[in-house]
Amino acid sequence: MKRQHQKGTLPLYLHVRFIAAAFAILVMAACPFTAFAQSDFLIGTGIYDITGPAAEEGMMGYSMPDQKTEGIMLRLRSRAFVVADPATGKRVAFVCAEAGVLPQGVKQAVVKKLLAAYGGLYTDANVALSATHTHSGPGAISHYAMYNLSMLGYDEKHFNTVVDGIFRSIVRAHNNLAPGSIYINTGELDNCGWNRSPGAYANDPARERAGYDANTDRRMTLLKFVTDAGEQIGTINWFAVHPTSLGNTNKLISGDNKGYASYLFERAKGTNYAAGRTFVAAFAENNAGDVSPNIYWGYPNGIDDFNHMKIIGTRQYDKAADLYNSATRRVTGHVDYRHMYVDFSNTSIDARFIQDQPDGAVTCSAAIGVSMLAGSTEDGKGIDIPEGITYPYDISILGQVFPWGFTLLPGDQECQAEKPIILPMGRIRPQGIPLTPEVLPVQILRIGDFAIIAQPTEITTMAGRRLRQTVTDALDGTVDNVVIAALSNAYAGYVATREEYATQNYEGASTHFGPYTLNAFQQSFDTIATAMADGTAADSGPTPRDIADNQLIPVIGVVFDDKPLDVNFGSVSADVRTFYNRGETAEAVFWGGHPKNDYRIQGTFLAIEKMTTHKVCHQEKVGCDTITVCEDVPVVEKVVARDWDPQTRYHWERYGVAYSKIRISWDTGGAEPGQYRIHHYGNWKSGWTGEIKPYEGVSSVFTLY
């Protein structure tokens, strides 16, 4: 028998709802939830800047040591959604952050700040942090060494910036809580992502594949948040595509196609990024482990990448806007959550989760295979070896490139089956700490008849379908829609199906815990989903280590800034032209300071200012007469673009030993004719005192025809 899902109570009369809404605004932080039983939920959204260092920081995603930040294309932001149950008082917080990954240490630090601020209101169990997985953001924020290798160290300042930004976005969502409703809509989005490992997918059972009309998940699931007062406060959707339109030659910070889609939606809704309360649009990640945006364009070439990013981002935005505008079905029911930690390096899996192993199986100590080094051909090609290399394979062939040595324990290679081990992260333990985490979180957030699977890896299309079905079955008819929020709460590589793993394409070679990793996740999520359906508690599992204080290799910071003696910080090195035709790019170069001095969080490194004239008059003595002399003085009418607008580029370049040149450009297409100037904001560091001081610079005024 299916468990019956308890629906929410019917709305009361309008004047009663209005009184309740007003009362909620006054006391929402510590309200008696039963006072708002007529509302579906208490809902709140918040957004905050997490951009990080815009120069000389390794970028997270492609693992290319020479791919270091050199400026900003789009700022990165954390978008938070808090939903509380008026009947039970339970609440959940879901965060979609524009980052390559959100390592376990970030979740630990965010929760510590939330516990300090709100007691037990927000905890490990009811807060989920999900990364969009942009490959064009700065890294060096993991406490596990492997994910900092290409950045050559750990950056505590950047780590704290990400933690603080996520925390502040949740605080804003909490402060904005108000009675309201959530609407859900789903639809198919074609031509917006293609399977980059079709051979591996084809190895999945034919009968299983026949149940789907595509080798990627094309379904977009969207939530729309509206207060009882009729205020539209936000939206979030889940769609499976990698944000890798920008390739590994790009060095400008960007949220890639998902960040661009968020920008388009928020611009359409008039989002004010400086405001504590404003509309928030998040484009979250789904089971995109084998889904590329680049198949039909080939590998990103550094020339067409920006246009490809706009195309894929616009397609996601257009679909999301359509679903948003046509969303009419309300999410109803109660808020709930379950959370558990699992040691995936040594998990025994029951036979009912493994079709080909009647006696069950066990996971393995974390390791990656040779084909991981090949990269994902369409998104991030690695060294010149093919995908699909299976055991046995003589890894000494790679000794010239990777001259390390390691010792496998008996059974390690056997456990990993078809995967020829090239790096056993679980066995290499500097300071007794493995290179990657093994104790990982599994979490389900339930908002009425909708559920979120918060899963800490990149999971392939078919693996995601299997996991989603496992959770749907375990919830036993109590939910109508289940989505996967990939890359949530930690990061530990990929998850492929057993059949995909056997081919050892990039995704299988990057599945850390062996051929039955997916089965272990299915078992773990079945456990907490069953507990949720039964209304019972779930075992919390082993506590993961907190290694924030074990970071020994910090990245190099700014020593000092310098400039030529005959200029000031902010002086123009190369000025704009006198005039431009619309569609041309206006550009100016400034003598500046290093962007690491101040990330200008919630601010900007540039402003494109539309000018007007103001008549200024003064008296002058001419002979025996006094005359009035007037002149037109240019003044700022409005700012038309900043460093988070895709029409602008903020580009940093080291010049000499400690000089910085800042090139700011603006694509004038679509701008109004008139007069403009480029305004640069920055900070420089004294080599004598270490003090960091702000500076500004402006270009000449130019005319746009």
Q: List, for residues 650-681, the tens digit of each pLDDT value.
A: 999 999 999 999 999 999 999 999 999 999 99
The sign of the dihedral angle between the CA atoms of 586, 591, 595, 600 is negative
Q: Rounded to whole angstroms, how far apart are CA atoms 144 and 147? A: 6
Given a cut of 60, whether residue 405 has pLDDT beyond it is no
In our burial notation (b when 16+ CB lie closer than 10 A, e otherwise), range 26-61 reads eebeebebeebebbbbbbbbbbbbbbbbbbbbbbbb
Rounded mean pLDDT of the chain? 92
pTM above 0.85, yes or no: yes
Do residues 80 and 126 lie in contact, with contact meaning Cβ atoms separated by under 8 Å? no
Beta bridge partners of residue 225, listed in sequence order: 182, 234
Structure tokens belonging to residue 353 = 């989760």
Q: Tell me what pLDDT residue 625 has.
A: 83
Q: What is the mean pLDDT of residues 355-374?
A: 91
Given a cut of 60, whether residue 35 has pLDDT beyond it is no
Do residues 105 and 550 lie in contact, with contact meaning Cβ atoms separated by under 8 Å? no
Q: What is the mean pLDDT of residues 29-33?
A: 39
DSSP 675-704: EEEEEEEEEEE-TTT--EEEEEEE---EEE
Q: Rounded to whole angstroms, how far apart are CA atoms 59 and 69? A: 6
Q: How many CA atoms within 13 Å lie on the side-chain side of 232?
A: 15
Structure tokens belonging to residue 608 = 């494109």
CA Rg value for the chain: 27
Q: Which residues contact 342 (CB under 8 A, 6 or more apart)?
A: 439, 440, 441, 442, 520, 524, 541, 542
Q: Rounded to whole angstroms, how far apart are CA atoms 473 and 219? A: 19
Q: Tell me what pLDDT residue 15 has.
A: 36
Beta bridge partners of residue 330, listed in sequence order: 183
415: amino acid identity, one letter: C
Helix (H) or strand (E) holding 391: none
Q: Tell me what pLDDT residue 38 has.
A: 57
In our burial notation (b when 16+ CB lie closer than 10 A, e otherwise), range 312-329 reads bbebbbebbbebbeebee
> Considering only CA atoms, which of 512, 289, 518, 492 is closest in space to residue 422?
512
Q: Tell me what pLDDT residue 37 has.
A: 40
Q: Rounded to whole angstroms, how far apart are CA atoms 432 and 690? A: 36
Query: For the ranges 115-119, 358-362, 468-472, which has the lowest average pLDDT?
Result: 358-362
| DSSP structure class, residue 368 | E
392 cis-preceded (ω within 30 degrees of 0): yes
Q: What is the mean pLDDT of residues 458-483?
A: 97
Beta bridge partners of residue 72, listed in sequence order: 253, 650
Given a cut of 80, whether residue 24 has pLDDT beyond it is no
Q: Tell me what pLDDT residue 36 has.
A: 40
Beta bridge partners of residue 697, listed in sequence order: 680
> Considering only CA atoms, which of 418, 421, 424, 439 is closest in space to residue 345?
439
Helix (H) or strand (E) holding 662: strand 659-667
Q: List, for residues 125-162, the tens digit of each pLDDT value.
A: 999 999 999 999 999 999 999 999 999 999 999 999 99
> Considering only CA atoms, which of 240, 82, 227, 235 is closest in space to residue 167?
82
Q: List, for residues 167-211, the tens digit of each pLDDT value.
A: 999 999 999 999 999 999 999 999 999 999 999 999 999 999 999
3-state secondary structure of 462: helix
Structure tokens belonging to residue 636 = 């700022």
Given a cut of 80, whether residue 18 has pLDDT beyond it is no
> Considering only CA atoms, which of 478, 485, 468, 483 is closest in space to residue 448?
478
Q: Which residues contact 502 (CB under 8 A, 6 or more apart)?
A: 203, 390, 417, 418, 508, 515
Which one is catalytic: 39, 136, 262, 292? 292
**660 is an active site residue:** no
Q: Rounded to whole angstroms, how far apart are CA atoms 609 and 699? A: 10
Given a cut of 50, whether residue 401 has pLDDT beyond it is no
Residue 195 Cα to chain centre, angstroms = 21
Q: List, for residues 261-316, the tens digit of each pLDDT value.
A: 999 999 999 999 999 999 999 999 999 999 999 988 888 888 999 999 999 999 99
Q: Tell me what pLDDT residue 33 has.
A: 39
Q: Rounded to whole angstroms, how far apart are CA atoms 461 and 463? A: 6
Q: What percent of the chain has pLDDT over 70?
A: 93
From start to end of 275-406, where are the E strands? 280-284, 291-292, 329-330, 335-343, 348-349, 361-362, 368-369, 375-376, 381
367: amino acid identity, one letter: A
- The ranges assigned to domains in the chain are 14-332, 572-704
Q: What percent of the chain has pLDDT over 90?
A: 83
Q: What is the mean pLDDT of residues 32-41?
A: 55
Which fold would CATH assign to domain 572-704?
Answer: Immunoglobulin-like (2.60.40)
Q: Tell me what pLDDT residue 394 has.
A: 74
Q: Tell me what pLDDT residue 380 has.
A: 78
Do residues 658 and 673 lie in contact, with contact meaning Cβ atoms separated by under 8 Å? no
Q: How confident is the model at residue 629 (pLDDT cuts 50, 70, 90)?
A: confident
Q: What is the mean pLDDT of residues 586-598?
A: 98
Q: Rounded to whole angstroms, how far apart are CA atoms 383 and 401? A: 9
Q: Rounded to whole angstroms, how far apart are CA atoms 449 and 451? A: 7
